[in-house]
Amino acid sequence: MSAMAAAHNAINLSQGFPNFKSDPKLIELVAKVMKDGHNQYAPMAGDLGLREVISNKMEQLYGAKYDPNTDIVITAGATQAIFTAIAATISKGDEVIIFTPAYDCYGPTIQLFGGNVIELQLASPHYTPDWNEVKSVITSKTKMIIINSPHNPSGMLFSEKDMLQLQQISEENDLIVISDEVYEHIIFDDEQHQSAARFEQLAKRSFIAASFGKTFHNTGWKMGYCLGPKILMNEFKKVHQYNVFCVNHPFQKGLATFMQDENTYLNLGAFYQQKRDFFLDLIKDSKFKMTPSKGTYFQLLDFSEISQESDVVFAEMLTKQQNLATIPISVFNKDTLDTKHIRVCFAKTKETLIAAAKILNAM
Protein backbone atom coordinates (compact mmCIF):
# COMPACT_ATOMS: atom_id res chain seq x y z
CA MET A 1 0.00 0.00 0.00
CA SER A 2 2.93 2.34 0.62
CA ALA A 3 4.13 1.65 -2.93
CA MET A 4 0.62 2.37 -4.24
CA ALA A 5 0.51 5.55 -2.15
CA ALA A 6 3.78 6.72 -3.69
CA ALA A 7 2.61 5.87 -7.20
CA HIS A 8 -0.55 7.94 -6.79
CA ASN A 9 0.92 10.70 -4.61
CA ALA A 10 -1.53 9.74 -1.87
CA ILE A 11 -1.49 10.64 1.81
CA ASN A 12 -0.07 7.53 3.46
CA LEU A 13 -1.98 6.33 6.53
CA SER A 14 -1.29 2.70 5.63
CA GLN A 15 2.08 1.46 6.87
CA GLY A 16 2.68 1.90 10.60
CA PHE A 17 5.35 4.55 10.88
CA PRO A 18 5.37 8.16 12.13
CA ASN A 19 5.94 11.02 9.68
CA PHE A 20 7.52 13.23 12.31
CA LYS A 21 11.08 13.29 13.63
CA SER A 22 12.65 11.40 16.50
CA ASP A 23 13.65 13.29 19.64
CA PRO A 24 16.69 15.46 18.72
CA LYS A 25 18.31 14.50 22.02
CA LEU A 26 18.30 10.83 21.03
CA ILE A 27 19.78 11.65 17.63
CA GLU A 28 22.51 13.71 19.32
CA LEU A 29 23.30 10.90 21.78
CA VAL A 30 23.71 8.36 18.98
CA ALA A 31 25.83 10.77 16.94
CA LYS A 32 28.08 11.37 19.95
CA VAL A 33 28.52 7.64 20.51
CA MET A 34 29.53 7.22 16.88
CA LYS A 35 32.02 10.08 17.13
CA ASP A 36 33.39 8.55 20.34
CA GLY A 37 34.29 5.43 18.39
CA HIS A 38 31.72 2.81 19.44
CA ASN A 39 31.30 1.57 15.90
CA GLN A 40 32.40 -2.07 16.15
CA TYR A 41 30.50 -5.19 17.18
CA ALA A 42 28.39 -5.08 20.31
CA PRO A 43 28.32 -8.08 22.65
CA MET A 44 26.14 -10.84 21.18
CA ALA A 45 23.28 -10.25 23.63
CA GLY A 46 23.57 -6.48 23.30
CA ASP A 47 25.15 -3.57 25.13
CA LEU A 48 25.10 -4.39 28.85
CA GLY A 49 24.13 -0.84 29.80
CA LEU A 50 21.02 -1.07 27.64
CA ARG A 51 20.12 -4.49 29.00
CA GLU A 52 20.42 -3.09 32.51
CA VAL A 53 18.11 -0.18 31.68
CA ILE A 54 15.54 -2.62 30.27
CA SER A 55 15.85 -4.83 33.35
CA ASN A 56 15.23 -1.85 35.63
CA LYS A 57 12.25 -0.76 33.54
CA MET A 58 10.61 -4.18 33.72
CA GLU A 59 11.01 -4.31 37.49
CA GLN A 60 9.68 -0.79 38.03
CA LEU A 61 6.69 -1.13 35.71
CA TYR A 62 5.71 -4.76 36.11
CA GLY A 63 7.45 -6.02 39.24
CA ALA A 64 9.32 -8.56 37.11
CA LYS A 65 12.98 -9.45 37.47
CA TYR A 66 14.93 -10.14 34.29
CA ASP A 67 18.66 -10.75 34.69
CA PRO A 68 20.45 -8.50 32.17
CA ASN A 69 23.18 -11.13 31.85
CA THR A 70 20.95 -14.06 30.90
CA ASP A 71 17.36 -13.01 30.17
CA ILE A 72 17.59 -10.12 27.68
CA VAL A 73 18.81 -9.95 24.08
CA ILE A 74 18.85 -6.82 21.90
CA THR A 75 17.53 -7.60 18.42
CA ALA A 76 17.22 -6.10 14.94
CA GLY A 77 13.65 -5.08 15.60
CA ALA A 78 10.80 -6.97 17.26
CA THR A 79 10.16 -8.98 14.09
CA GLN A 80 13.60 -10.55 14.39
CA ALA A 81 12.89 -11.28 18.05
CA ILE A 82 9.67 -13.09 17.09
CA PHE A 83 11.34 -14.92 14.21
CA THR A 84 14.20 -16.08 16.42
CA ALA A 85 11.88 -17.22 19.24
CA ILE A 86 9.90 -19.33 16.76
CA ALA A 87 13.04 -20.68 15.12
CA ALA A 88 14.41 -21.71 18.51
CA THR A 89 11.34 -23.65 19.62
CA ILE A 90 9.12 -24.78 16.72
CA SER A 91 9.77 -27.97 14.74
CA LYS A 92 7.98 -29.89 12.01
CA GLY A 93 4.42 -30.79 13.00
CA ASP A 94 4.19 -28.45 16.02
CA GLU A 95 0.96 -26.48 16.20
CA VAL A 96 0.97 -22.77 17.04
CA ILE A 97 -2.18 -20.84 17.92
CA ILE A 98 -2.44 -17.28 16.67
CA PHE A 99 -5.28 -14.78 16.85
CA THR A 100 -6.37 -13.12 13.63
CA PRO A 101 -6.29 -10.40 12.46
CA ALA A 102 -2.59 -11.01 13.06
CA TYR A 103 0.65 -9.22 12.34
CA ASP A 104 1.86 -10.73 9.09
CA CYS A 105 5.15 -12.25 10.26
CA TYR A 106 3.65 -14.87 12.61
CA GLY A 107 2.18 -17.37 10.16
CA PRO A 108 4.95 -17.48 7.54
CA THR A 109 7.66 -17.88 10.19
CA ILE A 110 5.81 -20.78 11.84
CA GLN A 111 5.42 -22.45 8.44
CA LEU A 112 9.07 -21.82 7.55
CA PHE A 113 10.14 -24.07 10.44
CA GLY A 114 7.57 -26.76 9.67
CA GLY A 115 4.93 -25.75 12.16
CA ASN A 116 1.19 -25.66 11.56
CA VAL A 117 -0.70 -22.41 12.11
CA ILE A 118 -3.98 -22.65 14.03
CA GLU A 119 -5.86 -19.43 13.38
CA LEU A 120 -8.57 -18.21 15.76
CA GLN A 121 -10.56 -15.28 14.38
CA LEU A 122 -11.28 -12.38 16.74
CA ALA A 123 -14.71 -10.85 16.17
CA SER A 124 -15.23 -7.16 15.47
CA PRO A 125 -15.79 -4.61 16.87
CA HIS A 126 -14.15 -5.57 20.19
CA TYR A 127 -11.71 -8.29 19.05
CA THR A 128 -11.58 -10.03 22.44
CA PRO A 129 -10.34 -13.64 22.60
CA ASP A 130 -12.68 -16.56 23.31
CA TRP A 131 -10.71 -18.75 25.70
CA ASN A 132 -13.17 -21.65 25.40
CA GLU A 133 -12.40 -21.68 21.70
CA VAL A 134 -8.69 -21.70 22.52
CA LYS A 135 -9.17 -24.74 24.77
CA SER A 136 -11.16 -26.52 22.06
CA VAL A 137 -8.34 -26.41 19.49
CA ILE A 138 -5.49 -27.53 21.75
CA THR A 139 -4.13 -30.96 20.87
CA SER A 140 -1.12 -33.05 21.83
CA LYS A 141 0.76 -31.24 19.04
CA THR A 142 0.08 -27.72 20.31
CA LYS A 143 3.41 -26.13 21.25
CA MET A 144 2.85 -22.38 21.40
CA ILE A 145 0.38 -19.49 21.58
CA ILE A 146 1.25 -16.07 20.17
CA ILE A 147 -0.53 -13.00 21.52
CA ASN A 148 -0.25 -9.32 20.67
CA SER A 149 -1.37 -6.61 23.09
CA PRO A 150 -1.91 -3.75 22.44
CA HIS A 151 -3.22 -5.43 19.32
CA ASN A 152 -2.33 -4.52 15.75
CA PRO A 153 -4.52 -3.84 13.81
CA SER A 154 -7.58 -3.55 16.09
CA GLY A 155 -6.18 -1.49 18.99
CA MET A 156 -7.66 -4.00 21.47
CA LEU A 157 -5.99 -4.70 24.83
CA PHE A 158 -5.77 -8.04 26.59
CA SER A 159 -7.30 -7.63 30.05
CA GLU A 160 -5.95 -8.99 33.31
CA LYS A 161 -8.65 -11.68 33.09
CA ASP A 162 -7.43 -12.60 29.59
CA MET A 163 -3.87 -12.95 30.81
CA LEU A 164 -4.90 -15.11 33.76
CA GLN A 165 -6.78 -17.37 31.35
CA LEU A 166 -3.71 -17.54 29.14
CA GLN A 167 -1.53 -18.34 32.14
CA GLN A 168 -3.81 -21.19 33.21
CA ILE A 169 -4.13 -22.67 29.72
CA SER A 170 -0.41 -22.46 29.00
CA GLU A 171 0.45 -24.09 32.34
CA GLU A 172 -2.08 -26.89 32.00
CA ASN A 173 -0.90 -27.72 28.47
CA ASP A 174 2.81 -26.92 28.89
CA LEU A 175 2.77 -24.30 26.13
CA ILE A 176 5.34 -21.69 25.20
CA VAL A 177 3.99 -18.16 24.75
CA ILE A 178 5.24 -15.32 22.58
CA SER A 179 3.85 -12.02 23.84
CA ASP A 180 4.26 -9.34 21.18
CA GLU A 181 4.28 -6.13 23.23
CA VAL A 182 5.72 -3.63 20.79
CA TYR A 183 3.05 -1.01 21.62
CA GLU A 184 3.32 -1.47 25.40
CA HIS A 185 3.67 2.28 26.07
CA ILE A 186 0.97 3.40 23.62
CA ILE A 187 -2.16 2.88 25.72
CA PHE A 188 -5.10 5.22 26.20
CA ASP A 189 -7.90 6.22 28.57
CA ASP A 190 -6.03 5.28 31.77
CA GLU A 191 -5.91 1.60 30.77
CA GLN A 192 -2.98 -0.50 32.01
CA HIS A 193 -0.72 -2.71 29.93
CA GLN A 194 -1.03 -6.32 31.04
CA SER A 195 2.43 -7.53 30.16
CA ALA A 196 3.12 -11.24 30.34
CA ALA A 197 5.87 -10.20 32.76
CA ARG A 198 3.22 -9.28 35.38
CA PHE A 199 2.12 -12.90 35.77
CA GLU A 200 4.75 -15.00 37.48
CA GLN A 201 3.90 -18.42 36.07
CA LEU A 202 3.17 -17.05 32.61
CA ALA A 203 6.47 -15.16 32.55
CA LYS A 204 8.32 -18.43 33.19
CA ARG A 205 7.20 -19.76 29.79
CA SER A 206 7.03 -16.54 27.75
CA PHE A 207 9.18 -14.72 25.26
CA ILE A 208 8.32 -11.00 25.28
CA ALA A 209 9.11 -9.03 22.11
CA ALA A 210 9.45 -5.25 22.30
CA SER A 211 10.39 -2.41 19.96
CA PHE A 212 12.47 0.74 20.33
CA GLY A 213 11.32 1.77 16.87
CA LYS A 214 7.64 1.97 17.84
CA THR A 215 8.44 3.69 21.12
CA PHE A 216 10.90 6.32 19.95
CA HIS A 217 9.55 7.18 16.46
CA ASN A 218 12.43 5.61 14.54
CA THR A 219 11.11 2.43 12.90
CA GLY A 220 13.88 2.64 10.31
CA TRP A 221 16.48 1.85 12.95
CA LYS A 222 15.05 -1.68 13.32
CA MET A 223 15.93 -1.96 17.00
CA GLY A 224 14.09 -4.14 19.50
CA TYR A 225 14.66 -6.71 22.21
CA CYS A 226 13.48 -10.03 23.56
CA LEU A 227 12.96 -11.03 27.18
CA GLY A 228 12.46 -14.44 28.69
CA PRO A 229 13.55 -16.87 31.37
CA LYS A 230 17.11 -18.17 31.08
CA ILE A 231 16.01 -21.62 29.88
CA LEU A 232 14.20 -20.12 26.88
CA MET A 233 16.72 -17.39 26.17
CA ASN A 234 19.54 -19.95 26.01
CA GLU A 235 17.74 -21.52 23.05
CA PHE A 236 17.01 -18.08 21.60
CA LYS A 237 20.71 -17.17 21.67
CA LYS A 238 21.66 -20.32 19.76
CA VAL A 239 19.71 -18.98 16.78
CA HIS A 240 20.49 -15.30 17.35
CA GLN A 241 24.24 -15.99 17.32
CA TYR A 242 24.15 -17.40 13.78
CA ASN A 243 21.38 -15.19 12.48
CA VAL A 244 22.56 -11.66 13.22
CA PHE A 245 25.08 -12.25 16.06
CA CYS A 246 24.59 -8.68 17.31
CA VAL A 247 22.89 -5.47 16.24
CA ASN A 248 23.72 -1.78 15.81
CA HIS A 249 26.15 -0.88 18.58
CA PRO A 250 26.05 2.96 18.67
CA PHE A 251 22.25 3.00 18.61
CA GLN A 252 22.24 0.70 21.63
CA LYS A 253 24.53 2.96 23.61
CA GLY A 254 22.51 6.04 22.66
CA LEU A 255 19.26 4.35 23.72
CA ALA A 256 20.79 3.24 27.02
CA THR A 257 21.52 6.85 27.96
CA PHE A 258 18.24 8.21 26.57
CA MET A 259 16.08 5.70 28.48
CA GLN A 260 17.55 6.66 31.84
CA ASP A 261 14.87 9.35 31.73
CA GLU A 262 11.72 7.25 32.14
CA ASN A 263 9.56 10.07 30.80
CA THR A 264 10.88 9.28 27.33
CA TYR A 265 8.52 6.27 27.27
CA LEU A 266 6.03 6.90 30.10
CA ASN A 267 4.59 10.00 28.36
CA LEU A 268 4.02 8.18 25.09
CA GLY A 269 0.41 7.17 25.79
CA ALA A 270 -0.69 10.75 26.42
CA PHE A 271 1.20 11.93 23.33
CA TYR A 272 -0.60 9.48 21.04
CA GLN A 273 -3.97 9.81 22.76
CA GLN A 274 -3.98 13.47 21.76
CA LYS A 275 -3.46 12.39 18.16
CA ARG A 276 -6.14 9.70 18.35
CA ASP A 277 -8.68 12.08 19.89
CA PHE A 278 -7.81 14.85 17.44
CA PHE A 279 -8.26 12.53 14.46
CA LEU A 280 -11.49 10.95 15.70
CA ASP A 281 -12.97 14.37 16.40
CA LEU A 282 -12.13 15.44 12.84
CA ILE A 283 -14.08 12.51 11.34
CA LYS A 284 -16.87 12.19 13.93
CA ASP A 285 -19.50 13.38 11.43
CA SER A 286 -18.31 11.14 8.59
CA LYS A 287 -20.12 8.00 7.40
CA PHE A 288 -17.42 5.80 8.88
CA LYS A 289 -18.23 3.88 12.07
CA MET A 290 -15.49 3.45 14.64
CA THR A 291 -14.72 2.11 18.11
CA PRO A 292 -11.90 4.22 19.60
CA SER A 293 -8.60 2.37 19.70
CA LYS A 294 -7.46 1.43 23.21
CA GLY A 295 -3.80 1.23 22.22
CA THR A 296 -1.27 1.26 19.34
CA TYR A 297 -1.28 4.13 16.86
CA PHE A 298 -3.87 2.47 14.63
CA GLN A 299 -7.60 3.03 14.27
CA LEU A 300 -10.09 0.80 12.47
CA LEU A 301 -12.80 2.42 10.34
CA ASP A 302 -15.98 0.56 9.33
CA PHE A 303 -16.99 1.66 5.81
CA SER A 304 -20.10 -0.55 5.48
CA GLU A 305 -22.42 2.46 5.22
CA ILE A 306 -20.36 3.82 2.33
CA SER A 307 -19.69 0.79 0.14
CA GLN A 308 -20.32 -2.95 -0.06
CA GLU A 309 -17.21 -3.51 -2.14
CA SER A 310 -14.54 -5.73 -0.59
CA ASP A 311 -12.13 -3.97 1.72
CA VAL A 312 -9.29 -4.58 -0.75
CA VAL A 313 -11.24 -2.95 -3.58
CA PHE A 314 -12.32 -0.10 -1.29
CA ALA A 315 -8.75 0.54 -0.10
CA GLU A 316 -7.45 0.53 -3.69
CA MET A 317 -10.18 2.96 -4.74
CA LEU A 318 -9.41 5.22 -1.79
CA THR A 319 -5.75 5.31 -2.77
CA LYS A 320 -6.08 5.65 -6.53
CA GLN A 321 -9.13 7.91 -6.75
CA GLN A 322 -9.15 9.83 -3.44
CA ASN A 323 -5.37 9.88 -2.81
CA LEU A 324 -5.52 8.35 0.67
CA ALA A 325 -3.74 5.08 1.45
CA THR A 326 -5.05 2.73 4.16
CA ILE A 327 -4.86 -1.00 4.88
CA PRO A 328 -7.69 -3.50 4.23
CA ILE A 329 -8.12 -5.71 7.30
CA SER A 330 -9.07 -8.90 5.46
CA VAL A 331 -5.40 -9.46 4.60
CA PHE A 332 -4.74 -10.07 8.32
CA ASN A 333 -7.83 -12.26 8.91
CA LYS A 334 -8.48 -15.99 8.85
CA ASP A 335 -9.53 -17.01 5.34
CA THR A 336 -9.29 -13.30 4.37
CA LEU A 337 -12.57 -12.61 6.18
CA ASP A 338 -13.93 -9.26 4.95
CA THR A 339 -15.54 -7.23 7.76
CA LYS A 340 -15.63 -3.94 5.81
CA HIS A 341 -12.88 -2.39 7.90
CA ILE A 342 -9.78 -0.46 6.93
CA ARG A 343 -6.88 0.44 9.22
CA VAL A 344 -5.43 3.93 9.42
CA CYS A 345 -2.26 5.03 11.20
CA PHE A 346 -2.61 8.27 13.18
CA ALA A 347 1.09 8.59 14.04
CA LYS A 348 1.18 11.62 11.78
CA THR A 349 1.44 15.38 12.00
CA LYS A 350 -1.71 17.44 12.54
CA GLU A 351 -1.45 18.73 8.99
CA THR A 352 -1.46 15.18 7.60
CA LEU A 353 -4.41 14.13 9.79
CA ILE A 354 -6.42 17.20 8.78
CA ALA A 355 -5.82 16.52 5.09
CA ALA A 356 -6.74 12.83 5.51
CA ALA A 357 -9.90 13.69 7.47
CA LYS A 358 -11.06 16.04 4.71
CA ILE A 359 -10.99 13.10 2.27
CA LEU A 360 -12.76 10.73 4.67
CA ASN A 361 -15.47 13.25 5.47
CA ALA A 362 -16.24 13.66 1.78
CA MET A 363 -16.91 9.95 1.28
Concatenating the DSSP letter of every residue in 250-292 gives: HHHHHHHHHTTSTHHHHTHHHHHHHHHHHHHHHTTTSS-B---
* DSSP β-ladder status, 95-100 and 72-75: unpaired
Indicate the pTM of the whole model.
Answer: 0.96
- pLDDT bin (cut points 50, 70, 90) of residue 2 is confident
β partners of residue 100: 121
Residue type, 20: F
**Is 114 within 8 Å of 91 (Cβ atoms)?**
yes
- pLDDT bin (cut points 50, 70, 90) of residue 52 is very high
Asked whether residue 1 carries a pLDDT value surpassing 90, the answer given is: no
What's the rounded Cα separation, in Å, for the pair 142 and 298? 31
**Residues with Cβ < 8 Å from 272, sequence gap 6 or more?**
186, 188, 297, 346, 347
Percent pLDDT > 70 in the chain is 100
Environment class of 270 (CB within 10 Å of its CB; exposed 0-12, middle 13-18, buried 19+): exposed
Asked whether residue 217 carries a pLDDT value surpassing 90, the answer given is: yes
- pLDDT bin (cut points 50, 70, 90) of residue 324 is very high
Phi first, then psi: what are they for 319, rounded to 5°?
Answer: -75, -50
Structural domains in the chain, sorted by start: 2-16+266-361 (3.90.1150.10), 24-260 (3.40.640.10)
- pLDDT bin (cut points 50, 70, 90) of residue 236 is very high
Enumerate the H helices of 65-186 as residue ranges: 78-89, 106-112, 131-137, 160-172
What's the rounded Cα separation, in Å, for the pair 143 and 140? 8
pLDDT per position as a tens digit, 143-180: 999 999 999 999 999 999 999 999 999 999 999 999 99
What's the rounded Cα separation, in Å, for the pair 225 and 182? 10
CA distances from 322 to 8, 313, 354 (A): 9, 13, 15
Three-class secondary structure of residue 313 per DSSP:
helix
**Is 90 within 8 Å of 263 (Cβ atoms)?**
no
Query: What would the mean pLDDT of 253-259 be, rounded to a whole number?
Result: 97
* DSSP β-ladder status, 11-12 and 324-325: parallel
Residue type, 322: Q
- pLDDT bin (cut points 50, 70, 90) of residue 281 is very high
Phi first, then psi: what are they for 179, rounded to 5°?
Answer: -110, 105
State whether the Cα torsion 82-87-88-89 is positive or negative. Answer: positive
Percent pLDDT > 90 in the chain is 96
Asked whether residue 86 carries a pLDDT value surpassing 90, the answer given is: yes
From the list 346, 271, 131, the residue with the least C-alpha distance to 360 is 346
State which H helix or E strand residue 356 sits in.
Answer: helix 350-361
Peptide bond preceding 68 in cis form (omega within 30 of 0):
no
Query: What is the per-residue pLDDT for 15?
Result: 84
Residue type, 282: L
**Residues with Cβ < 8 Å from 233, sequence gap 6 or more?**
70, 71, 72, 73, 226, 227
Asked whether residue 16 carries a pLDDT value surpassing 90, the answer given is: no
What's the rounded Cα separation, in Å, for the pair 144 and 114? 13
